[in-house]
Chains A and B, each alone.
Chain A
């Protein structure tokens, strides 16, 4: 069954006379790992904010998780997960408090939060760390916890905004193994990254240039289309054509 979890048509966002996102259209299928690439300033963050229900488009239409991006933003927020490297956990709260806080924000009841907390701590092997401050955890654990918490309300889709920036090479790869596990369970993953080796791990990637989607396909097909040996070269060719300075 091929079903589109994200469906976007002619999405446009203008700030004054500057067009940050310029009539982009794309679909993301259920269970797909979709890489959303682009140079700094290409419009990725603006587009992603609209998809997450944080900003309204100037023009265009679409749905995320079955909800309208213009009129059902609160429903979108409730039905997606979000995680970034910059912000994901409250360092001054314990592991358990973080789970409780986010569970509460997503409207889970007390009993459900207790069950979730236990199940999550078991799955992560973190029962004995449950009363430690999140900020004191090793980075690899923090990431696993943040990822699990972003899915505390069992969303069908998760947005990952540069989840691995500055992370050491092994932790970065372990994190991608979690992404694969989630995708195998049917979760749709929408991810941005500046690491081009990670672009290879996606089922499909789009490359934004100057507010538009300049290319969208599987890594293999992009590589053959652009006669490139790897995604780094593909990105160089496509993003190198950018006309606008960030």
Chain B
């Protein structure tokens, strides 16, 4: 069953093209990730899907309701957690919860089962003002407020931006439990490592979708071979690798360099021999499978866009 379907959505802000002909389909019950850097158009797409903004062109439905005509009904069945903390800072944790529950004509008690697991972690601070909570607790409160009316679809706009690596993993574990309760989750992130945790995802850059599918489908679409190279003088090695014929690109990936090469021109043995000739005899290299980040970088570069388009929101 389809939970979200949007077709040919475009949006401009004056001369700036924020979204360009976006089409997506999200199945009910899945975690769908919208993956891309700042300025790619993620928040604009969220606002359109949550009826907070009208598209210039294109159409869409969430749970069968039209994102323009049925906005009132649609708002009742979705939960939305915006990127910026948008709860009432001067209200307490409990007051915020009651307020959002009342807005949706329900009570915290009635839906306690849905939010229990997350809410129990912030309940000890029920009387604290939201503005006085730590970042992690604000995030949990925002998530509870977005879930308090048992939405069918949960929209999370960059819930983990600026969040440390450990807390990000905790947050994703919460998402899996929410998913298990039958909620469809549409989540955006600039962190490529979170992509692998989605059932399906769309890669977005400069207002366009540059790739979509399951994580393994996206990885299997990578057309070149990839080598992981390690050595002692990593920065020098990076520059040397880029000069080798057949090497398409080379970037740092943690403690190794990922070298994309054209197998018709070169291979692992030849690359290692070239490195050895250049004085990098202590290198090791291993053919590896690409990760989503490799694919994103390849798909970004493939588009016939001058580098001046990097910032996204440009005409």
Partner of A239, one of B161, B165, B190, B301: B165
- Does B293 lie within 8 Å of A41, measured CB to CB? no
Partner of B300, one of A137, A138, A168, A184: A168
- Does A230 lie within 8 Å of B307, measured CB to CB? no
- Does B253 lie within 8 Å of A245, measured CB to CB? no
In the complex, chain A residues 124-181 whose Cβ is within 8 Å of any chain B Cβ: 136-142, 162, 165-171, 173, 176-177, 180
Q: Determine the distance from Cα of A177 to Cα of B235 in the docked complex, in whole angstroms.
A: 8
Q: Considering only CB atoms, which chain B residue lies closest to A232 in the complex?
A: B165
Q: Contacts of B102 on A, CB cut-off 8 Å? A: none
- Does A170 lie within 8 Å of B300, measured CB to CB? yes
Q: Contacts of B265 on A, CB cut-off 8 Å? A: none
Using an 8 Å CB-CB cutoff, how does the interface string of B241-284 with A read, 1 for contact, 0 for none?
A: 00000000001111100000000000000000000000000000
B308 within 8 A of A: yes
In the complex, chain B residues 28-54 whose Cβ is within 8 Å of any chain A Cβ: 36-40
A240 within 8 A of B: yes
Chain B CB count within 10 A is highest, among A137, A173, A177, for A173
Q: Contacts of B205 on A, CB cut-off 8 Å? A: 168
A170-B251, A180-B235, A196-B254 known; A235-B166 Cβ under 8 A: yes
Kindly count the residue-residue contacts between A and B in the assembled complex, taking CB atoms under 8 Å apart: 114
Segment touching A, from B66-74, B131-139, B219-227: B131-139
Q: Determine the distance from Cα of A124 to Cα of B113 in the docked complex, in whole angstroms.
A: 57
Partner of B252, one of A162, A201, A235, A242: A201
- Does A173 lie within 8 Å of B251, measured CB to CB? yes
Q: Determine the distance from Cα of A232 to Cα of B165 in the docked complex, in whole angstroms.
A: 7
B150 CB to closest chain A CB (Å) equals: 27
B241 CB to closest chain A CB (Å) equals: 13
- Does A139 lie within 8 Å of B39, measured CB to CB? yes
A202 CB to closest chain B CB (Å) equals: 11
A236 within 8 A of B: yes
- Does A165 lie within 8 Å of B161, measured CB to CB? yes
- Does B296 lie within 8 Å of A169, measured CB to CB? yes
Q: Contacts of A165 on B, CB cut-off 8 Å? A: 161-162, 190
Q: Determine the distance from Cα of A242 to Cα of B192 in the docked complex, in whole angstroms.
A: 25
B120 CB to closest chain A CB (Å) equals: 14
In the complex, chain A residues 215-246 whose Cβ is within 8 Å of any chain B Cβ: 219-220, 230-232, 235-236, 239-240, 242, 245-246
In the complex, chain B residues 192-228 whose Cβ is within 8 Å of any chain A Cβ: 192, 205
A38 within 8 A of B: yes
A92 within 8 A of B: no
B180 within 8 A of A: no
Q: Contacts of A230 on B, CB cut-off 8 Å? A: 254-255
A211 CB to closest chain B CB (Å) equals: 14
B213 CB to closest chain A CB (Å) equals: 18
Q: Determine the distance from Cα of A115 to Cα of B313 in the docked complex, in whole angstroms.
A: 33
Using an 8 Å CB-CB cutoff, how does the interface string of A168-211 with B read, 1 for contact, 0 for none?
A: 11110100110010001000000000111100110000000000
- Does A39 lie within 8 Å of B37, measured CB to CB? no
Q: Determine the distance from Cα of A141 to Cα of B168 in the docked complex, in whole angstroms.
A: 29
A3 CB to closest chain B CB (Å) equals: 22
- Does A41 lie within 8 Å of B136, measured CB to CB? yes
A166-B190, A168-B205, A196-B254 known; A240-B166 Cβ under 8 A: yes
Chain B residues bordering chain A, tally (CB within 8 A): 43
Q: Contacts of B64 on A, CB cut-off 8 Å? A: none
B288 within 8 A of A: no
A228 CB to closest chain B CB (Å) equals: 11
- Does A239 lie within 8 Å of B166, measured CB to CB? yes
- Does A219 lie within 8 Å of B255, measured CB to CB? yes
Q: Determine the distance from Cα of A195 to Cα of B160 in the docked complex, in whole angstroms.
A: 12
A71 within 8 A of B: no
Q: Considering only CB atoms, which chain B residue lies closest to A235 in the complex?
A: B165
Partner of A245, one of B134, B163, B235, B296: B134
B238 within 8 A of A: yes
- Does A39 lie within 8 Å of B161, measured CB to CB? no
Partner of B137, one of A162, A166, A180, A245: A245
A40 within 8 A of B: yes
- Does A139 lie within 8 Å of B311, measured CB to CB? yes
Partner of A236, one of B161, B162, B166, B296: B166
By a beta-carbon cutoff of 8 Å, the part of chain B in contact with chain A is 36-40, 134-137, 158, 161-169, 190-192, 205, 234-235, 238, 251-255, 293, 296-297, 300-301, 307-312, 314
28 A-B pairs in the complex with CB atoms less than 8 angstroms apart: A38-B164, A40-B162, A40-B167, A138-B308, A138-B311, A139-B37, A139-B311, A141-B310, A142-B311, A166-B158, A168-B296, A168-B300, A170-B251, A170-B297, A170-B300, A177-B238, A180-B235, A194-B162, A194-B168, A197-B252, A200-B254, A200-B255, A201-B252, A220-B255, A235-B164, A235-B166, A236-B165, A242-B166
Instruction: Given contacts A169-B251, A177-B238, list 14 more A-B pairs with CB under 8 A.
Output: A39-B166, A40-B134, A40-B164, A41-B136, A138-B307, A138-B308, A173-B251, A177-B235, A184-B235, A194-B163, A195-B191, A196-B165, A196-B254, A235-B164
